[in-house]
Amino acid sequence: MKKWMIFTLDVIILFLFLVIGITGLLIYPGLLQLFGFNIASFPKYYIYEVHHWFGLVMLVLASIHIDMHWKWIKTMTKRVLKRQPLKAKKTKRSLINYGVDIGLMISFLIVFITGIIKFRGFTSWTQINPRILPLYQISILHDNAGILALLFSTIHLFLHRKWLLKTAKSLHQQLQPAMMKHKTVIVGVLSFILILSGVLAIGIPLTSSGVTNEVDGDHSITIEGIGTFTYPSDAITPVRDDIFTDTSFSLYAILVYLDEQGEINVESHFDETMNTYVIDAINGREHWWYEAYYDGGWPETNVLRMDHYPFKQKTTLKLFQTTEEHLQSIYSVFQEEIQRKKTYETTLVIPRVVIEIPSETLEFSNIEVTPHNKRNDLFEEGVITALDVIMSLADQGELTYELNWYDSIGSAEIVRNYFVDSINGDTAFMRCGYVYEEGSYKYQGFTGNHIHIPADARALNAPEYVYWFWICI
């Protein structure tokens, strides 16, 4: 029975090994280009998802496999440590197996640890500031350890090929009568497993994006403790017409629309000291903040004025009640920004800008930023965005850059933004590229400043810092 269990487990691991190995090679940086493949047509996001999730399953099954053979591993380790002489051919073969297995275990452990660290959303879930992790080096280590694991796995299978074939033949002979008798049931079960595997492989990235905000052509907003409300995006006016054009609007404008329609009762006022609308109450309840993310994203903590957050198709939006202390902490940051903005009168000066690229780290102090109106379809003339920081530094001769427009990225069908693809010749590739954050040091990283709004869609007031860095996912 144990032999059959081991054999069955090995067959499943072999299947996972093939899937993970193939997808790993497909996304290995630069490998396919060497053979002339056009990777632009590859569904890279789904390949990543299959690779990642099947890798987690592989971890569990490989751990069980190691546990089943732990006694043998311990025995061989003792022999190696005692340096017993190699006399018999069988002993030599065992030592070769042992060496390959140790190499496989070490490389697989590295793949697992690095894979978890760079798993989509890991730093956000754990609230780890991404700047303290050498993610580029971790990604390279993961890829190279994966190649080693693939090599050791191939050798491992080759060394155990006779046992696998012998066990498969024995198992087939014993089960053949039962299989012929119940072949219809077996085919049905196998078909169900294959269909389920396909659904999971494709469905995981779709459900993980959390996009549930479209209802029969309309969009929806969830207000915790009050309800979920739908709204037509083409019926909403900007509210902040000093920031947004007639064809765009902020998430705050959705609340104003629902209030005007009588769906909810919103009490709010504009606070000049913070340059934002403050929600005093919704249906008589106080202390509201919000959570939002675009298509393909996930919930994340933010410290961004709600009337500055641009609406985009497939935006997920949820309001929730929080503490007065939490709101006052956020409002104090907004007030500091506006006070800083008044200091420089007609210009925007950012005290500190840091740009970390693979080849160097660029640091600047008191950088004057000017509007380039790259998104005059979204913002009014003169509105300064996070993208203008890079463009202004280039104007001043401090760096060079390249932009690229993306209609979609991976599972995010609706992107429609400019992204910085290159800085000083260091160009984004495959899973590696540039991200940024801006705001007060009080909320740096995933505590509020690092949110997934493209730089050309993030209007600035007067942040304490702007930080661009290279990341691999």
pLDDT per position in the chain (473 positions), as tens? 456 676 677 778 778 878 887 877 776 666 665 666 655 555 555 677 777 778 888 878 878 877 777 777 777 777 666 665 555 555 667 777 778 888 888 888 888 888 887 765 566 566 666 556 666 677 778 888 888 888 888 887 788 777 777 777 776 666 566 555 555 655 566 566 666 555 544 444 333 333 333 444 468 999 999 999 999 988 999 999 999 999 999 999 999 999 999 999 999 999 999 999 999 999 999 999 999 999 878 888 899 999 999 999 989 999 999 999 999 999 999 999 999 998 877 789 999 999 988 888 899 999 999 999 999 999 999 999 999 999 999 999 999 999 999 888 766 788 899 999 999 998 887 667 899 999 999 998 888 999 999 999 999 999 999 999 887 66
Q: What are the start-end ranges of the E strands in 88-201? A: none
Q: Is residue 337 part of a domain?
A: no
Residue 128: closest CA among 441, 439, 446, 449: 446
Both structure tokens of 214: 């479209």
Residue 219 burial (10 A CB sphere; 0-12, 13-18, 19+): buried
- Element at 305 (helix H, strand E): none
Give the domain CATH number at 175: 1.20.950
CB atoms closer than 10 angstroms to residue 269 = 8
Same-domain pairing of 244 and 312: yes
Residue 261 burial (10 A CB sphere; 0-12, 13-18, 19+): exposed
Question: What is the distance between the alpha carbons of residues 453 and 473, in angstroms, rounded to a whole number?
Answer: 17
The residue among 174, 208, 242 that closes a domain is 208
Residue 461's domain comprises 344-472
Share of the chain residues as helix, strand and coil, in percent rounded to the nearest 5: 50, 20, 30
Same-domain pairing of 295 and 435: no
Task: Report how many domains make up the chain.
Answer: 3
Same-domain pairing of 203 and 264: no
Same-domain pairing of 359 and 392: yes
Residue 310: closest CA among 458, 184, 209, 185: 458
Q: Is residue 336 part of a domain?
A: no
Same-domain pairing of 219 and 198: no
Count each helix (H run) and each strand (E run) in the chain, helices first. 12, 14
Q: Is residue 246 part of a domain?
A: yes
The residue among 292, 327, 362 that closes a domain is 327
Same-domain pairing of 18 and 69: yes
Q: Is residue 366 part of a domain?
A: yes
Give the domain CATH number at 263: 2.170.130.30
- The answer to whether 383 and 459 are in contact (CB under 8 A) is yes
Same-domain pairing of 185 and 227: no
